[in-house]
Chain A
Amino acid sequence: MNIGTIQAYAYFFFVAFLVIVLYSYIYHLYSSQRKGKRDYEKYSNIALNDDITDQPVEDISKND
């Protein structure tokens, strides 16, 4: 097995790994939103309600 073959295998598995990570992350994002574990979409309101008097979406003093 020469270095080129090893690189090719390493490349293949690295790409496969990244694809799995990507898709499982997408799955994780959408399933936790659907099950109500976490609401990602509420953060969009940071831009919409951005007057200095508006209530922050998540206050800095609160721990998560």
Chain B
Amino acid sequence: MKNTSEMLPGTLDMLVLKAVSLAPLHGYGVLLRIRDISGGALDIPQGSLYPALYRLEHQQLIASEWGQSDNNRRAKFYSITPAGRKRLRQETAGWNQMANAIAAALSARPEEV
């Protein structure tokens, strides 16, 4: 199980955006969704999720609305905004580029240098 302290900076925002881009979610749901889609590999410390959500909302990358949860309670649901979707695309592209670069770097063999 990985902790955010070992995650690269900025990846938490990216993961939150990805999670809410699939469907509107409340905070706890975001946490579960990230765990699900990462196959249980990424477990975010619960406390750090909310500042991230508030920051993204302040930047108008996500929007929030109060609604009904599965267990019939009032909950705040987050959904992605067009600006958030755009940002997610940029971040994903950037991330893939970097991941490829790192993978290439790490797979380098002595004879290629």
Query: A and B bound?
Result: no
